[in-house]
Structures are given as C-alpha cells and as structure tokens.
A and B are shown apart, each in its own frame.
Chain A
Amino acid sequence: MRLVGPIMSGRSSSERAGPTSVLERILRSYRPAGFLPVLLTVLLVAFALFIPNFVAVQNLLNVLRSSSYLVIIAAGQMLVLIVGGFDLSQGAVVALTSVTSALVMVAFKETFANEPGLIILVGVLAGLGCGAIVGLVNGLCVAFLRISPFMVTLGTMSIATGCALLLTSGIPVYGMPKSYVEGFGRGLWLDLPTAFYLAAAVVAVIWVMQNYTRMGRYILAIGGNMQAAIVSGVPAKTYLILSYVICSMLASVSGLAFTAQLGSGQAVINAQLTLESIAAAVIAGVSIKGGVGRVEMVALGAILLLTLTNAMDLLRIDPRIQAIFLGIIVVLAVALDELSQRRAALV
C-alpha cells in the first residue's frame, strides 16, 4: 500500500528555492504582462528620437496597417496555442483566401455587374469558407485522429499553398470591385486605416470571449489540463476543433483585408507570416505548452514585432538579416517561457 501523508505539500517555495544566479533570477521573474507595454513604449520613444521619418504620419499609418493584419492572425494563433496546439497553415490560408476571394469576385463580375456589394459579399464568403474548411480539417485531425498539430498543419499548409498556386499558376488575380480596393483595402476611416478597425474589433470580440464566456474558459481549461477538462464534463473535442476553425478563419479575415489593400489576389505571400504570428503570440507570453494567453497582450506583441521590422526597414537593414533577427526573437521568447515554467514547476 502507498504511504501518502499529510506532509507532502509541506515545503513552501521559499524554503525550497536554493541560491540562484542574478541572471537566473531576472530570467525567472520575466513577466510579459508587465514587461511588454514598457518595452514597446521605450522602443517607440527611442525610434521616434533616433530614427528619422519614423514619426512621419505616412510611416505610422503603414506600421498600424501592417500590424493590424498580424494582430488578427496572431489572435487566431493564440487560440490554437492555448489549447496546446500549433497552426503552421495560417500563411497558406492567407494565400488561399486571397486568390479564392479574388477569383470568385472576378467570376461574378458579369453576373452582378451593377451590384458591387453582392460581388464583394460572395468573394468574402468564399474566402472565409477556405479558412473554415482548412481549420475544420486541422481540428478534426487533431481531435479525432490525434495526429500531432505540427504534422497536421504542416500538411494542410502544403495543401493550401498547392491549391492557391494551382488556381492561379502564380499569376496575381486582378479585377476586384473598385469599392473593395479603394474603399476598404486602402481606405481611411477617421484618418485611420480600415484594417485597424477590423483588428480592434477582432481583439475586442476575443477579449470578451476569453473573459466573459464559457468558451474562453473551456479553451484555457483544455490547454491547462485536457484530462481535467474532459472529466469535468467540458466538451473538449468540440472546443478544440472550434479553436482551429476560428484560427484559420481569422487568417482568412486578415487575408481578405490584405488582398483588398494589394488590389489583387496573390498566391505568393510573405513566407514569414506564420512564424511572425507565432512570434507575436509567444512574445506576449502565450505558452507553447498551452493553457496561458491573453489576446490584448498578443496584440501588443504583434505591434512590437512590426514596429521593430519597420525600424529596421528605415535603417536599411538587409531583409535577410531581419529574418535572422526574427528567428532569434522566437527562440528567445520560447526559452523565457520555458524558464518561467521551470520556476513554476519547483513550487
């Protein structure tokens, strides 16, 4: 028989923690929630002071617009990371959404010649449909076949990229309604890019979902302790699948806005996009082991990342060097996450 006495939890963390190096202590006390806003502010001030043109209105609008796309994608990535998964197919979904929505709009150009609104609607629905399908496939494979999210999304990434290229042979698709491109994609509302409002709305909705609905709590619970969630009666598979679907559909939303801004459907998009979205989430303290993540922090993470990119662009740093830099940031952020988890595990 087992001997389990009442004393087993007797040792408090302070008694147990041994002497540690200063560096270790700094690393262990790393808290993205307090750290990130401060870092972002410091960087913004520093860039404003030392980089010419950084505070130019046009430049700031650019940063805001490009971060908006990333905020939307990273918010989706966050949901999947929280449930303990990964989504490598996001970038491919953006590309597939881009060409599909553009092709559908072009195809219906004659049918609804006088109804640009209707053309846009079918295009947008087709784009969102792409995201929904890819997300559903990802979610079903992870929840029911129990394939590792890494492999599933690596596979769907390849499939979605292949489809996008097949549909267009790599040639950009032109001919979307003017109102979609000029009015929505490149438009400004109250002097701010439309994508900004879209991103703000996405963050607001997910924030409410995380804090005030069952779904938010279930997603955290699934990532925190899947078995506990199941035993407690949480329909874990449903919410697991839902997370993947929302993640992919947010990639689609971003893809639609991006396409509208470009004015053409593109099968070849920024290859770094998926990595950037994971980076934004991880910088913001989303644990790659699941169970932890706040959307408002992820939004800040995305803005921070693109502010850095913009500053490097202005300083004319070689994009290839920027890629190296992005990789280092991702690895560092994950290492910090790992270290803070180890601290927690000692308690």
Chain B
Amino acid sequence: MTAVETDDMSRVAEAARDGSDLLLELTNISKRFPGVVALEGVDFEVRQGEVHVLFGENGAGKSTLINIIAGTYPADTGTFKYRGKEIVHLTPQAARVIGISPVFQEFSLVPELTVEENLFLGRELTAGGFLNRRAMRARARAVVRGLNFDLPPDYKVAQLSRAHQQMVEIAKAFLTEVRLLILDEPTASLTDAEAAKLFELIAKLKAGGVGIIYVSHRMREIKRIADRITVLRDGHKIKTVEAGDVSETELVELMTGRKIGVLFPKIKHNPGDKLLEIESVTLSDQSVNDVSFYARAGEITGIAGLVGCGKSEVIRAVVGLEPIESGTIRVRGKVISAPTPAAMTKRGVCYFPSDRVAEGLALARPVRENVSMAALDLPGFSRHRLLQRRSERRIVQGIVEKLSLRPPLIERAVASFSGGNRQKVLLARGLTRDISVYLFDEPTVGVDVAAKAEIYELMQTLLATGVAIVLVSSDLPEVLNLSHRLYVMHRSHMVAELTGANINEPAVLAHFFRERQTDGIVAGEMHATN
C-alpha cells in the first residue's frame, strides 16, 4: 500500500470516527464572464466543523467561487453537492434556506434601511401578511447580543461606520440556522478586539459542526484558525494543503507562482532633478491635510498608507482631479496655480487612475482610440485639425507591442481584454507623448502576476529614460520593494519619509497604526521576511 493510500485511508477513518463527512463538494467548477475566465475546473470541498481558507491574489477567482456557493450566480460547468445531494438552480434565497450564509466583503446592505431592516431583508417575520416588527426587533437584539456586537438596531446603515457595517453583515448570517458560513475578509475593517470576538465565535461554530469558508490574506489569522487552505491562482486551483503542513513562504509562493523577489526587479536608483514638488497641500474636503512631497527624476517615489488615508487623493489633486484648498504644486520648478488634467498632460505629468473602468478606459472603443486619446493634439496624430489615422495606427501599434499587449490587436474593443491587458492599454496612453512625471495610482489592482511583473518592468524601462515615477499603492510588498524613497500617509497627513534600509515593513506598519497597538491583525505581514 502506498503512502498516499494510507493517508487517504486514515482520513476516511478519521472522518468516520468523528462523523465529519463532507458538507460541500464542488467538482470541476468553471465560470466565464465576458472576456474573462474567472474559474477553470476548480474542485473544492468543505467538511463539517472545518475552517477552510481560500487564499489567492486579487482576481484569482476567490470571489467568483464564493458567489457560486452562495447562489449569486450559477457555475457554467461542474457539479455542486451539498450535504450529499446535488444542487442545481441555487438562488441566494434558497442558499440561505438550506443553511449557506455568506458574509460578503462588498456589503449586501441597503444604506437607507435600518440595521434591523437590513438583518431581516429577504426573510421578514410577518403576522397575517403584515410585518411583525416587535418580533423582528427582539430577534435582532438577541442575535446582536449573542455576537457581542455594539450595534444599535434602529440606526440607518448609512449612518454607521464601515466597521459597524461589517458587523451588520456578519450578524445577517447568524439570523437563521447556519450550516456553512462564508466569510470574505471579515476582519478587513474590524478592530483587533472585534476580530478576537469573531474568532471566538468561529471556534464555537466549529465545535457545533458548522463548516466555514474563510477568505483572507492575513497570515496571522490564517495560522490561527485555518484547518485547510486552498490556493487559487488565475482561476485555477493550485493546491489544497493542511494548514499545519505549510509555511508562510510556501503559501506565498503557491499564490504568486514564483519565488518572492523574482517578481520585483531591482531598479537602478539614479536621482536627478526634482521634477514635481508639492508643498503644504490641503484639499477642500480635508482628505489631504498639509502634505508636502517631491519626486525626482530617475527615482521611484512611493506613497504607502491604509485605504482612505488620502494617498490617492493627493496625486489626484496634482492633476486637478480633486479640489485644492491651499498649497502649491511645482512642475520643473514652475508653480501651477490651477491644475487640470489637460494642462498637466501638456506639462508632462501623466496620471494613471486606479479605477480603470470608471476613469481610465472607454471599454466599448478600440485599443487604438483609447491609447491615442490624450495625444490627439500632437503632430503624428493630427495635422490641421484632421486626424492622421495611418500614422496614429503605426504609433499605437508600436507602443502596444513594446508593452506586449496580448493579443496585440489595436482595433479590438478594450472590453474584450483581461485586467492586466487593460492596464497595459492605459499605460500605453502615457507613452504617446513626452511625459516626465508618471503618477501610478494602484497600478496592479486586479492584475494577474504575469502582468504585474510586466508592469514593474515597464516602470524600470521608463525610469532608465530619466523620468520621475510616483507610485501610490495599498499593496505593501509592491511599494516596499519598488520604492527608492517611501512616504507614509496616515489620516490625511504625511507622517514619514523613509529611505534606503529604513524602507522595511516594521517601519511602515509602525506609521500605519500610529495610535494603535501593532500587535493585532495586520495585513501584509507575511512579507516581513523578504
């Protein structure tokens, strides 16, 4: 008998012993969205009383998988077995009835309804056709008390902080009997104490035989609660491992598909003139308060900070996308009094928005038009106010080939390209004219690993030509590994400027969580070693 078989045998025996048979069994699940293969032949199972962590990068297919399990949309292929029975035509409502309770990261809450109304949305208690408000209030209070959450049931969800909204989302899952709980990064906006309560609760549920699917990036959490871990990458299942058998480094390598360090090129640091200087800038909505920084040629200037700290807003303000209350912006030493995107482009400052779909690209239009959009005033694109289509095509074709757009077809609509390639189309726009300052706002969100590496290589190539690059990112390893000089923002203020060996994770995190203890659940800590 081989080792594998022995292993299987013992597992079966173990399952039989404690009665923990399979709760959920998915086989060969595939799901396509227009232009994207979200999942391809994925197998996934959850046992009773198990915490099964789903691990992977953004866009790896985790959300798609949990949405299929929650009945939000059906899989294209594959079988879905729940408690031994095959399930077809699952709807969100039916899923909740059979005990599958999802807690989404994108909140499924209605802002204009109260906490209580949101908890019962879709399964209101009624008496004689009318809402039984008293019973609902009593039940809501009981559930909230049981969870030890500090939630006022009669507040509108719109009035609550994000952390409280997260609590409502979690409480929603506990209103009915839960057999399979899906938690999608539930601690993302909870404090450490609140997260600790959630873990206690998870332990209690586990003991009661509830299966839990837990999506998270946070190593310490995963170490603490996971029984098994399934790693997804680019819509494929890479591996399912026992939590005890795998190290942090191995997990990260499974997730990214390459050795850490290979992903980030060593970019030469060759600082030159200050091309962009920001002095004491405050925005009208106070999301940026008295912030100063500069960017030099031949240098990647990183800006790190938690979501909502104002780091995106500050570079948006540079190109005039956020209203400035006070402060000065200088490009090559010249003061720009009222920046607008058009004026800044002409001065050689180019901004790449983080939300490519909303702000970056016209999805229905071909690559060619999207790329040349910002350069139509230049000779080569137009002459005597008439478009030079042949020359436009030639220039754009050259640029997309340099960026290895796949496929390199410039007449195709941008909508038919994947996330990484869409980002390349956006970047191509910055290469159509003479740009000396590139502002990257979260350039690798929703981009697969291969495309990430290509984007980093592009930055390397650009930098060698003597431009300045400002990199704003919530992806900590990215800013840590690429920045030559790293600023840290915290609650609208610039709190630190790190250089050289001081650019390391503990230093940055200490600034992220200034007024808090840093002993709790902190994202990104898995990279502390590199």
Contacts and interface: CB of A to CB of B under 8 A. Distances in A.
B111 A1 contact: no
B189 A9 contact: yes
Interface stretch (B237-245, B389-397, B470-478): B470-478
B112 A231 contact: no
Interface string B456-480: 0000000000000000001111000
B121 A2 contact: no
* B interface, over-half SS: loop
A347 B70 CA distance: 31
Contacts of B92: 230-233
Contacts of B91: 233
A344 B107 CA distance: 18
A228 interface: yes
Nearest to A221: B110
B93 A217 contact: no
A9 B164 CA distance: 9
A6 B189 contact: yes
Contact of A217 (B124, B163, B522): B124
A1 B93 contact: no
Contacts of B477: 1
A6 B188 CA distance: 7
Contacts of A231: 70, 72, 92, 102, 104, 108
A213 B121 CA distance: 12
B109 A2 contact: no
Given A212-B130, A213-B129, A235-B93, A225 B109 contact: yes
Interface in B156-211: 158-159, 161-163, 172, 185, 188-192
B93 to A, nearest CB: 3
A8 B308 contact: yes
Interface string A1-24: 111111111110001111000000
B325 interface: yes
Size range of the chain A interface in the assembly: 35 or more
B123 interface: yes
B33 to A, nearest CB: 15
Contacts of A235: 93
Contacts of B416: none
B107 A224 contact: no
Contacts of B307: 2-5, 8
Contact of A346 (B285, B492, B526): B285
B448 to A, nearest CB: 14
A6 B192 contact: yes
B57 interface: yes
A227 B121 CA distance: 12
Contacts of A320: none
A9 B285 contact: no
A70 interface: no
Nearest to B490: A7
Interface string B112-125: 11000100011110
A11 B512 CA distance: 15
Given A3-B307, A212-B131, A15 B109 contact: no
Given A8-B306, A212-B131, A217-B121, A2 B217 contact: yes
A9 B162 contact: yes
Contact of B117 (A5, A9, A217): A217
Nearest to A208: B130
A182 B254 CA distance: 83
A5 B309 CA distance: 10
Contacts of A268: none
Nearest to A6: B191
Nearest to B165: A9
B356 to A, nearest CB: 16
B491 interface: yes
B316 to A, nearest CB: 16
B523 A5 contact: yes
Interface string A320-347: 0000000000000000000000001011
Interface string A219-253: 01100110111111111000000000000000000
A177 interface: no
A101 B361 CA distance: 52
Interface string A188-206: 0000000000000000000
Given A217-B113, A224-B112, A228-B110, A9 B163 contact: yes
B108 A18 contact: no
A301 to B, nearest CB: 19
User: How many residues of B sit at the interface, in one of the four size bands?
Assistant: 35 or more
Given A4-B188, A292-B112, A234 B121 contact: yes
A221 B131 contact: no
A16 B113 contact: no
Identify which of A212, A217, A344, A347 gathers the most chain B CB atoms within 10 Å of its CB: A217
B257 to A, nearest CB: 15
Interface string B98-110: 0000101011111
Given A4-B188, A18-B285, A228 B109 contact: yes
A214 B110 contact: no
A7 B515 CA distance: 10
The residue among A16, A224, A228 with the most chain B CB atoms within 10 A of its own CB is A228
B108 A291 contact: no
B110 A220 contact: yes
Given A8-B306, A9-B189, A233-B93, A2 B110 contact: no
A16 B286 CA distance: 6
B10 interface: no
B180 to A, nearest CB: 15
A212 B130 CA distance: 5
Given A2-B217, A6-B516, A234-B122, A213 B113 contact: no
Contacts of B308: 7-11
Given A8-B306, A228-B107, A233-B93, A344 B191 contact: no
Contacts of A220: 110, 112-113
B127 to A, nearest CB: 10
B155 interface: no
A230 B121 CA distance: 10
A195 B279 CA distance: 67
B418 interface: no
Task: Pick the most buried of B104, B286, B325: most chain A CB atoms within 10 A of its CB.
Answer: B286
A18 B306 CA distance: 22
A5 B102 CA distance: 22
Given A225-B110, A233-B93, A233-B96, A3 B474 contact: yes
24 contacts: A2-B307, A3-B524, A4-B188, A7-B308, A7-B512, A8-B162, A8-B308, A16-B285, A18-B284, A18-B285, A212-B130, A214-B124, A217-B117, A217-B121, A225-B109, A227-B108, A231-B104, A231-B108, A232-B108, A232-B172, A233-B121, A234-B121, A291-B111, A347-B159
Those 5 A-B pairs whose CB atoms lie nearest each other, nearest first: A233-B93, A233-B122, A9-B162, A224-B110, A5-B306
Given A1-B526, A7-B309, 7 more contacts: A7-B513, A8-B162, A9-B161, A224-B110, A227-B108, A228-B121, A233-B95
Interface of B: 57-58, 70, 72, 91-93, 95-96, 102, 104, 106-113, 117, 121-124, 126, 129-131, 158-159, 161-163, 172, 185, 188-192, 217, 284-287, 306-309, 325, 445, 474-477, 490-492, 512-513, 516, 520, 522-524, 526
